[in-house]
Structure 1
């Protein structure tokens, strides 16, 4: 009895105490992974539009190095922040300049936070939801006559159109002016999130829906 007890006791004590100091380190690493640009938390984002919720993905990764390009429509699985960055690159000045576009978005987020005291990622999600048109027109031909017809817009296309309008508004407001691209983008995000009709993205959405309503 005494020999078996003496052999079993020293084997259990060091193993039971080993994993305890590692627990807080894992929690700190998990919180760091959830921060976009090392600053913004993306774990508690609210969605007001259930139709586009599936296609507005928010992750702390802002550069996936083109992993979504191997399959059609896989772009909806990457972060909406990276999709905005990619849209900003689709201009003559920023073509292929991913780091420059990323810096513009990062600086714009800081400006949005200073003005609204909100999480800029939440402001971006709300701006995309508000800027996506719900109706647009297509051209149908009847006997050689082209007739406009109003159609519903798919949720994925709504997100694409919203990001396009935000990028176009940023470029038009900062091209050949003293306004920086980050300042112009911040104005677009804040205005679209508040549904300001003077914002380029909201005005384009209203125009498309107005033309579609006339073609019903």
Structure 2
């Protein structure tokens, strides 16, 4: 009898082992989030600074943008296209890297876009150099961490409402809609890039000074900023379309 019981136990054990072969153990979302949080804390404890100068440990006050505004500790924010194959994974990219990519292709803001719509700026590392020098100007003028100034400017310039068009019979109607968080960041970065391009292209103003001025005006929530003006214009249109 003892031999039979041992045989049965061994068979059950082998069956359970066979069932688990080739399958990953189930890990709950809570444990994954705890692990990622621990990794981020470990990286921040290493005192990794952006451009080896400024801390990226900034609190995002706008709750809607918090999930989509990546401020992980990086010395050089360059992901080399790691997130380009999956939709909406650009939010995992460092926000300074996203600004550099927008500066490379500012895009058109009117009917004439023969020059502005294509790749018309220097390489990625040159754009990072422009951002670094603009951050130096912001630091000298505000006496604050320029990464924080940039984040506050982004929060101020992020549009909340827009207008969309839809067809009702033979009529095109307009309706106010709430802008998604990722689109809010996209549009604010686009306006920063377009303002920089418009102020320095064919003019004596350098790209560094143009970017620093735009970010500083957006940080102060001034109407002299192109991003703030466009945000207010879109929100006025949305208010009139209700």
The TM-score normalised by the length of structure 1 is 0.82
Q: Distance in 2 between matches of 1:147 and 1:70?
A: 35
Instruction: Tell whether 2:125 aligns with 1:99.
Output: yes
Question: For 1:203, which of 214, 229, 232 is the aligned residue?
Answer: 229
Instruction: Tell whether 2:16 aligns with 1:30.
Output: no
Instruction: Tell whether 2:67 aligns with 1:41.
Output: no
How far is the alpha carbon of 1:172 from its aligned partner? 0.8
Structure 2 spans left out of the alignment, 5+ residues: 1-41, 107-118
Q: Distance in 2 between matches of 1:102 and 1:42?
A: 15
Q: Distance in 2 between matches of 1:68 and 1:202?
A: 29
Calculate the aligned-residue CA RMSD, in Å. 1.7
How far is the alpha carbon of 1:198 from its aligned partner? 1.2
The TM-score normalised by the length of structure 2 is 0.74
The corresponding residue for 1:110 is: 136
The corresponding residue for 1:57 is: 70
Q: Distance in 2 between matches of 1:193 and 1:144?
A: 44
Runs of 4+ displaced beyond 4 Å: none
Q: Distance in 1 between matches of 2:51 and 2:187?
A: 25
How far is the alpha carbon of 1:78 from its aligned partner? 1.1
Structure 1 spans left out of the alignment, 5+ residues: 1-25
Q: Distance in 2 between matches of 1:70 and 1:140?
A: 31
Matches within 5 A, 1:137-216: 137-216=163-242
Give the match's secondary structure for 1:101: helix
Q: Distance in 2 between matches of 1:170 and 1:46?
A: 26
Q: Distance in 1 between matches of 2:200 and 2:173?
A: 37
Q: Distance in 2 between matches of 1:124 and 1:167?
A: 13
Flag the structure with higher helix content: 1
How far is the alpha carbon of 1:48 from its aligned partner? 1.6
How far is the alpha carbon of 1:93 from its aligned partner? 2.4
